[in-house]
């Protein structure tokens, strides 16, 4: 009696697809179980991020459309300064309680709402056409960079080397921005600084997206959403300032 053994072969495309779960392999060498768990983690983070973006949009719209809020913040420099520094103060309890439900979501909501107010004030004092252009550009950049990072990760590319480069560049950008407040620079220098900032935050989107795919632990879903939220928000504000200065 002869026993026939069926030999099955898979193409490269079939190997990248988990047929049972319907999910794409995130990066070479990841196990089946880890791949499924990681995809669940990614969906959770992007769900939280989407809720943050919706809250930011609603608060910004309310600030723009309801003039008393904008006038109160603009007319009271102390209150505006407090609202600017409040998100930085909330980062500490947010980091400490990121794994303690429901405190993690409470601090996340406060953090997002406080940042949204300052974004709303910025949008309220900017031409609506420029705000819309900045929103479209930011959406296009974020979508493109996110898709590219997932594709590159599946191909085995690594962007961990960007960490020290981006951090150093961010420090230079912050120091330059403070210097600009004391010693105002010309329009050409402002354009260069704005472009430099846009490149930095675009790089952070790639770097933090790869951290989401490979390095964040499953308990760090709050912190992962915060980092991506800050990357997107800073990119939007940088593009908004560049367009506004170009228009002026």
Q: What is the DSSP string of 142-205?
A: HHHHHHHHHHHHHTT---TTHHHHHHHHHHHHHHHHHHHHHSPPPHHHHHHHHHHHHHHHHHHH
SS3 of residue 66 by DSSP: coil
What tokens appear for 236 in the block? 């939007």
**Domain locations along the chain:** 29-247
- Choice among 25-39, 102-116, 169-183 with the minimum mean pLDDT: 169-183
What tokens appear for 50 in the block? 């989407």
pLDDT, the chain, mean: 83
| Cis amide bond preceding 189, omega within 30 | no
**Given a cut of 80, is residue 50 above it in pLDDT?**
yes
pLDDT of res. 1 = 41
**Given a cut of 50, is residue 22 above it in pLDDT?**
no
Segment of 19-33, 63-77, 80-94, 180-194 carrying the highest mean pLDDT: 80-94
pLDDT of res. 93 = 87
pLDDT of res. 147 = 96
CB 206 within 8 A of CB 149: yes
Q: Considering the chain, what percentage of its residues have pLDDT values greater than 70?
A: 85
**Given a cut of 80, is residue 143 above it in pLDDT?**
yes
pTM given for the model? 0.85
- Choice among 3-17, 28-42, 83-97 with the minimum mean pLDDT: 3-17
């Amino acid at each position: 009696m002869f026993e026939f053994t069926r030999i099955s072969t898979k193409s490269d495309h079939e190997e990248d697809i988990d047929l049972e779960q319907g999910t794409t392999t995130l990066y070479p060498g990841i196990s089946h179980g880890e791949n499924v768990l990681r995809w669940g983690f990614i969906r959770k983070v992007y769900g939280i991020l989407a809720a943050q973006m919706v809250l930011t949009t609603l608060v910004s719209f309310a600030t723009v459309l309801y003039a008393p809020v904008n006038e109160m913040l603009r007319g009271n420099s102390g209150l505006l300064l407090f609202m600017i520094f409040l998100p930085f103060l909330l980062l500490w309890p947010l980091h400490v309680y990121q794994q303690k439900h429901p405190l993690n979501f409470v601090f996340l909501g406060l953090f997002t709402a406080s940042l949204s107010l300052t974004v709303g004030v910025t949008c309220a004092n900017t031409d609506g056409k420029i705000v819309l252009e900045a929103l479209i550009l930011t959406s296009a950049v974020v979508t493109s960079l996110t898709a590219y990072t997932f594709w590159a990760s599946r191909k085995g590319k690594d962007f961990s080397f960007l960490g020290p480069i981006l951090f150093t560049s961010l420090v230079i950008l912050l120091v330059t921005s403070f210097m600009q407040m004391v010693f105002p620079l010309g329009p050409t220098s402002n354009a260069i600084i704005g472009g430099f900032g846009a490149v930095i935050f675009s790089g952070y989107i790639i770097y933090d997206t790869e951290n989401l795919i490979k390095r964040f632990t499953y308990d760090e879903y709050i912190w992962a959403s915060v980092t991506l939220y800050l990357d997107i928000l800073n990119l939007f504000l940088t593009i908004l300032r560049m367009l506004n200065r170009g228009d002026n």
